[in-house]
Structure 1
């Protein structure tokens, strides 16, 4: 059986290497490719970001996300071309700011495959479109950075638009990717039914 291909998007200030390390438990059933965000992170020489968080507000976040989506799609298409697959054939996994970008790609109708958003929020308009994505939202109950209600809101909005949304909560992970997180994702990738607990 051919392994799934995961394309992973890290959080702000992190990088592809760190994301690869965090998702190592998924490599038993998938090939994992992690991408570096296109912009340097101002507070960390080794960190990258998908869009600038300097002076970020609730009002200007959607505009920054929208401006970042085309470059993300170009990066995804390069991976798809290199691997000889379609963009929608791989599993898109994003954490934190990477999850924001994952949800934006789905909301805009740019990605229709399987996706996982870990500790994310929806900061993009949701387009009505006929081809749904299959989305897993994972959020820790005690996340001090992204309240879990943000995943609830994202799931509700995307579900109304016709996407297949599944949810799971972790405990004790905080704002990060823990063993429980990857265990849930592995079960979901293997086809296990998860309780909608986000």
Structure 2
């Protein structure tokens, strides 16, 4: 019997629409909603909506602090995803990028052993590293290209709570596409803005 490949679609907010964060009181976990963002495409897709947690990391200390496996919600804010954490910040510091983390607890829609699960991220700007239940399952670079990660059978919890953590690094170099450039006076060049976060469906 062939395995059912189910896509978990994680909602991503348009770059200009960002809800004001609130200090997280709880870390909710719920099964994905039985709805999709597109009428056409594979069956068995779900949208992981509802509240996410976000933590900004301007000093880039999250990896050293093992934020990918921590249980505490201290320092995390509740946000809606899609989310661009610098949507209202037009400073040069914002343009040249930083690091932020997203976290979501969820239960699988089905605990059936013959069901495999795939996460599809439509856009994360710029570099994404993804952990499931504290273990890294993949990474990707490129703001405008979607990517998919299979949830390993030995890591995913069926009938229990799973934790997805995404580290987003929006810092760019002149060799990235689009590049991060500035003139001799330090002024940003280019006709685009470096919005940072989970910007579209995953």
Task: Tell me the TM-score normalised to structure 1 length.
Answer: 0.35
- Higher helix proportion (structure 1 or 2): 1
Q: Which has the larger radius of gyration?
A: 2
